[in-house]
């Protein structure tokens, strides 16, 4: 979910080439909720900055309304993770990936780490 079409296309190209099928692209929060409900993806990559809308809000709504689990939500941005670390921790999303570091491997890594983290800490509902 990103409001920049070129990035969406580039990301789709890269991920598809590494074995992750991209089932849908959304550029606004409303679209995101719609697609999530329709397509029931395994993972949603949500840009922090959705053209003026807050990606954190969208992630929260995806979690509550579209029923996506934390392990299905990843925040992405061209911003530095350090700047947003508090908001990221407070978010239901399992983690954050820098856009320039985006790859299939990075996604899988994050999901695995997230699972481990939850198994170690015990799942805290409504995070």
Partner 1 sequence: MKAGLTRRMLIASGLLALVISAAFAVLLASVADLRASERSARHSEEVVAAANRLERLVVDVEAGERGFLATGQDSRLELWRNGQAALPDQAAELQRLVADNPEQLGMARQIETDATSYIRDYSTPLIETAMRDLGAARSQAASSEGARRIDAIRAEFDRLVGAEHEQAVAGQHRSGAAGRQAIAAAATGLAGSVVLIVVFTGYLSRVVIGPVRRVAAMADRLAGGDLGARLPERSVGEIGVLERSFNTMARSLQANRDELAASRTRIVAAADQARRRIERDLHDGVQQQLVSLALELRAVEASSPPELSAPLAGAIDALVGATDDLRELSRGIHPAILSEGGLPAALRALARRSAVPVELTVEVPERLPEQVEVAVYYVVSEALTNAAKHAEASVVHVEVRKHDGRLHLSVHDDGIGGATAEHGSGLIGLIDRVEALDGTVDIASPVGEGTTLVADLPIEEP
Residue numbers of the site for partner 1 (CB under 8 A)? 3-4, 6-7, 9-11, 13-14, 17-18, 48-49, 51, 54, 56, 78-80, 82-87, 99-100, 102-103
- Per the CB < 8 A criterion, the answer to whether 111 and 70 are in contact is no
CB of 40 to partner 1, least distance (A): 25
CB of 17 to partner 1, least distance (A): 5
C-alpha to C-alpha distance for 50 and 27, rounded to whole angstroms: 7
| Nearer of residues 14 and 111 to partner 1, judged by Cβ | 14
């Amino acid at each position: 979910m990103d409001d920049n079409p070129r990035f969406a296309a580039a990301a789709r190209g890269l991920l598809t080439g590494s074995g992750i099928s991209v089932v849908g692209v959304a550029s606004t929060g409303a679209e995101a909720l719609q697609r999530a409900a329709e397509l029931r993806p395994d993972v949603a990559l949500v840009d922090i900055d959705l053209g003026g809308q807050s990606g954190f809000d969208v992630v929260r709504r995806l979690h509550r309304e579209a029923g996506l689990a934390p392990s299905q939500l990843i925040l992405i941005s061209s911003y530095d993770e350090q700047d947003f670390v508090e908001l990221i921790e407070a978010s239901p999303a399992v983690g954050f990936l820098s856009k320039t570091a985006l790859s299939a491997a990075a996604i899988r890594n994050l999901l695995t780490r997230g699972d481990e983290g939850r198994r170690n800490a015990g799942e805290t509902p409504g995070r």
